[in-house]
Amino acid sequence: MTATSDLHTLTGAYALDALEDDERRVFERHLAQCESCDQEVRELSATAGRLGLAASLPAPPHLKAQVMRQITEVRQGPPDTPAAVLSRHVRRGHALRWALAVCIAGVAALGGTTLWQHQQADQARQEARATQARSDRIARVLAAPDAKVAAVAVGGGARGSVVVSHDSDKAVFIASGMAAPPKGKVYQLWFADGDHMRPAGLMDPSRPDQSVLMSGAVGDASGMGVTLEPAGGSKQPSTAPVALLSLPA
């Protein structure tokens, strides 16, 4: 029997109809109860046809040199000292004191358990709406009549593809088989605007297969890249790129 933890890794194989019959039945039972896997399967299924037509486009010759040059110009901030952390807490203290008093009064009036359940339910609804909205935006880019695809090998057997719709001025990066980043690191996406690298969002470090709506407009970007950055991302690339490719015209 396949463990539940292993089932989360089968979304790509299921979307590509690559599971054995027994394994498919087990996964479909899991899929009916797992919202995150259901979302991922829908995203991957929507792109499977397009990815088969993806053309591999080399990155512009200047792009890697540009990223490497910017790495030398990035100053990594020093870690916070205990004094700096304490100072921030003191500055926040006055505002938080009033907020805490209001929260305590609310708990006393409504009952701690009831308030907690309400907050949890409200948070779940908000997360579900955000997930659905994100899936819808990705689907619109993938299904756009003018959508074009380019693919690149990321390393370690992983693959990356970018789908661009110039009519909607949006791009989606699709990763398959990405290795988990080192602890405290995250994969960050970039648009290449001439000699400038523009942040375009972060990938989920826990998902080897995913579709990410790149942040911001495509604009005049001619290429894109992926780098490993500190958790939370960077304003400019600080490591050598793990992937670079031209955007389809």
Closest CA to 191 of 212, 205, 207: 212
Residue 138, classified by CB atoms within 10 Å of its CB into exposed (0-12), middle (13-18) or buried (19+), is buried
CA distance 225 to 246: 9
For residues 38 and 61, membership in a common domain is answered with no
For residues 43 and 66, membership in a common domain is answered with no
Which of 36, 51, 66 is a domain's end point?
51
Domain coverage including residue 27:
4-51
Asked if the structure places residue 138 within a domain, the reply is no
Asked if the structure places residue 235 within a domain, the reply is yes
For residues 223 and 159, membership in a common domain is answered with yes
For residues 59 and 166, membership in a common domain is answered with yes
Asked if the structure places residue 182 within a domain, the reply is yes
Residues 6+ apart with CB under 8 A from 181: 187, 205, 228
Q: At residue 114, does pLDDT exceed 80?
A: no
Residue 97, classified by CB atoms within 10 Å of its CB into exposed (0-12), middle (13-18) or buried (19+), is exposed
Better-scored residue on pLDDT, 186 or 95: 186
Dump pLDDT digits (tens) for 157-215: 888 889 999 999 999 998 889 899 999 999 999 999 987 899 999 999 988 888 899 99
Q: Hey, CA dihedral for 203, 209, 213, 214, is it positive or negative?
A: positive
pLDDT of residue 190: 95
pLDDT of residue 124: 64
Which of 35, 51, 67 is a domain's end point?
51
pLDDT of residue 118: 54
For residues 62 and 183, membership in a common domain is answered with yes
Q: At residue 136, does pLDDT exceed 60?
A: yes
Asked if the structure places residue 124 within a domain, the reply is no
- The answer to whether residues 44 and 209 touch, using CB atoms and an 8 Å cutoff, is yes
Dump pLDDT digits (tens) for 20-62: 778 888 888 888 888 878 877 777 666 555 555 455 556 666 6
Better-scored residue on pLDDT, 74 or 176: 176
Better-scored residue on pLDDT, 137 or 43: 137
For residues 38 and 153, membership in a common domain is answered with no
Over the chain, what is the mean pLDDT?
A: 75
Domain count, the chain: 2
Asked if the structure places residue 25 within a domain, the reply is yes
pLDDT of residue 64: 63
Predicted TM-score (pTM) of the model is 0.57
Q: What is the mean pLDDT of residues 100-120?
A: 51
Asked if the structure places residue 21 within a domain, the reply is yes
For residues 68 and 17, membership in a common domain is answered with no
pLDDT of residue 68: 66
For residues 59 and 47, membership in a common domain is answered with no
For residues 47 and 62, membership in a common domain is answered with no
Q: At residue 142, does pLDDT exceed 90?
A: no
For residues 61 and 32, membership in a common domain is answered with no
For residues 70 and 40, membership in a common domain is answered with no
pLDDT of residue 50: 54
Asked if the structure places residue 14 within a domain, the reply is yes
Asked if the structure places residue 139 within a domain, the reply is no
pLDDT of residue 188: 96
For residues 67 and 174, membership in a common domain is answered with yes
